[in-house]
Amino acid sequence: MSNQIIIKGNVSFDQSNAVVATVKLWESNHKDALDACALKAGSNGTFTLEATPESDHPVLYITAELENPEVVLLSVLSPNWQEDISKNGVVINELTTVASAFTCAQFFTGLQLSGDQRGVSIAAKNTPNLINPVTGSWGDVLMDPFNITQNETLARLNTLAALITAYDTEHTNGDQWKEDFLKYTTPLEGKKPGNTAEAMIGVALGPWAYPTELFSLFDKSYPQPADGFPAKPNSKVPVSRRNSPFVPYLSFAPDDFAMILAFGQGGICAPGKLSLDEEGNLWTGLNWMPGAQNGVYQGIGGGLVKLDSTGRLLSPPVTGFTGMGVDGAGWGTAVTKDGTCWVTSFNGSIGVYKLEDGSPVIEEVPQELAEALNEIGGLQGIGVAPNGDIWIVGTSSNQMLHFPEGDLSKGRVVVNKDLTDALSAPFAASIDNSNRVWISNTNGKSLVRYSPSEKDTPVERFILAGGGRGVALDSKGNCWVACNTSPDFPSTTPTDGVSIIEGFALGYPHLDQTVGHNQTTGSVFMIPSDARPKDTIDKTTHKSNLQAFGDGELSAPWGISVDGNDDVWVANFMGRGVSFMAGASPSGRSDGYKTGDLIHTIHSGSIQMLTDVVVDQAGNIWCANNWNLPQTVMASKPDPAYSTWGGGSGVLVIYGIAKPAQTPLTGPVSSVPYPKL
């Protein structure tokens, strides 16, 4: 049983503590409030709450219902901040409301916070990245140079907070303004909000739904004064600043209100593939070492990086975790259920590291396997099967490696001529519940399905488009594949038999020649779980009848992930964005769309050239900034001023925007269970 807690704090609204309110303390996954107190006029917003939580590791949150019951403020308290909160108290205001709504959006039903305890905890722990719960002001991560001048998150947060203020002050334009506010904050899959906290949760669940309309309400409440005229009556200082309670604010309507933060402390350069462990820690292998002058003609290989579920670096700075010969990790990072993280290297090495401390599981690779790896050369994608098997693609040699039950000593090259013939610079692999291996090809236009247990047709090919990249399986076993190009895009220079880095040097200019002329190329395909190649070929034209989703909208898509609602998230490499697509059975936020419809693409100054997106247990989307300046990557001797800008800068998170998914991911995606209260 937990110990009794005492939380002191202040409620602030419109920059004032002169509030009348009912303050309540809640525990996630429990119906009733733990404690409550009434703030009367003259209390200066000060409160004290006492309670004994029922859980040993509780996630606590506070609501403050003002005199107008439609104005509710919120603060979800991070378990990591318990000591600071106990010592210094908390502040609850409009800013804490927005931050809590976005980080914990996937777990609120009304104002009841409930869900998988680990997911709820991850969500709560991220709130201080946006807002400091003790001061009620901006969080340290939001304020660091990676964010404060590189994205709109600060201005978006302040603008939404100002709308909460406007709901109950003289700034509003009457009942119609309030009605419009509740209309445009209604979530895409829910009911009309009953108060301002629920309204912010509604925005967080679909931040692309009504950004123009919400900004228009902000504009009406805080109109832009003409230069030289006072912003307030009787003001003697001529200014042109809006009379908003929080600055900076947005000066024009955003494309969406997504809350994005980037992380790069200690040096995270050119992360390739991302993988999440059971605790929500993020693992990624780095193509190149941070701080080096990296590109396809020169560079220093990077190691393995670990961040906790809030983006805090846990691995050694600059070098990351190293060992077992890995020197420059490619698009091969995979966490397993047995407590290890596997990494592949451009030089053909395989590293297996312990999740507890990042140390290699062995000092040297078994001799027989080492000899095989030496012949195979560069490796990329890693697939973790539900049964624990590990499958790795040999990109430079067109071969597959298989490690039964993840045992390094049992590793072997798959001997199957049909499979070898079907592979052409294979890139990624994913394994379904029937132990079938789905493999993308960089060259050609096919995806390969390899069924080791089938004698008649163990190798099948589906015709898609060129530049096959990420592969992901939804909960029904349907296979989603991202292809760099559209089906009719001319074939790129073959890269079979060359090193992975050489392959990038050959392939990128061909893509850039098209995309650089304001054109787009790229597509996503879904192959049904039970599909057979013959059923996907038109008998009249002899061409594939599989639909190319996103053609004309995506730009060299790379990584792809499926969330807990079976909807699809895509890393737009050359489009520098994250795209949200309707899944195989659209419902909830994707209801009304058709399978594969591109619903929205998120852009930000923090988003560079992405190679992966993954979904965590809190519904956050984590993204890998792999390249930054392609002209630096492709130059033999780049401009010294930008010679370290080739590799992308860090990883980033988009808070609470996806349906939570179980991690680590082994095989098809599975949703996070929601406990019944």
Q: How far apart are CA 307 and CA 27, in angstroms?
A: 27
Domain with CATH 2.120.10.30 in the chain: 270-654
Q: Which of 118-127, 196-205, 630-639 has the lowest mean pLDDT?
A: 630-639
Q: How far apart are CA 646 and CA 662, in angstroms?
A: 33
* Residue 5 predicted with pLDDT over 90: yes
CATH superfamily of 270-654: TolB, C-terminal domain (2.120.10.30)
Q: If you search the block for the tokens 């594939």, which residue do you land on?
A: 544
CATH superfamily of 5-142: Carboxypeptidase-like, regulatory domain (2.60.40.1120)
Contact between 469 and 440 (Cβ < 8 Å): yes
Token readout for 467 is 């530049």
Contact between 526 and 437 (Cβ < 8 Å): no
Q: Going by C-beta distance under 8 Å and a sequence separation of 6 or more, which residues neighbour residue 193?
A: 182, 185, 186, 187, 199, 201, 202
Tell which wins on pLDDT, 444 or 152: 152
Contact between 266 and 318 (Cβ < 8 Å): yes
pLDDT reported for residue 1: 46
Whole-structure pTM value: 0.95
**pLDDT above 70: percentage of residues in the chain:** 94
* Residue 102 predicted with pLDDT over 80: yes
Compute the Cα dihedral for 246, 248, 254, 260 and give only its sign: negative
Spell out a b/e string for 346-385, using b for 16 or more CB atoms within 10 Å of the CB, else e: bbbbbbbbebeebebbeeebeeebeebbeebbbbbbbbbb
Closest CA to 489 of 552, 398, 426: 552
Domain with CATH 2.60.40.1120 in the chain: 5-142
pLDDT digits (tens, 9 = 90+) for 27-57: 999 999 999 999 999 999 999 999 999 888 8
- Banded pLDDT at 540 (limits 50, 70, 90): confident
pLDDT reported for residue 491: 74
Q: What is the mean pLDDT of residues 86-105?
A: 97
Q: How far apart are CA 548 and CA 79, in angstroms?
A: 45
pLDDT reported for residue 541: 85
CA dihedral of 248, 78, 204, 189, whole degrees rounded to 10: -170
Q: How far apart are CA 283 and CA 308, in angstroms?
A: 9
- Banded pLDDT at 677 (limits 50, 70, 90): low
* Residue 372 predicted with pLDDT over 90: no
Q: How far apart are CA 654 and CA 622, in angstroms?
A: 7
Task: Tell me the residue type at 585.
Answer: S
CA-CA distances (angstroms) from residue 432 to 388, 391, 583, 665?
12, 12, 17, 11
* Residue 501 predicted with pLDDT over 80: no
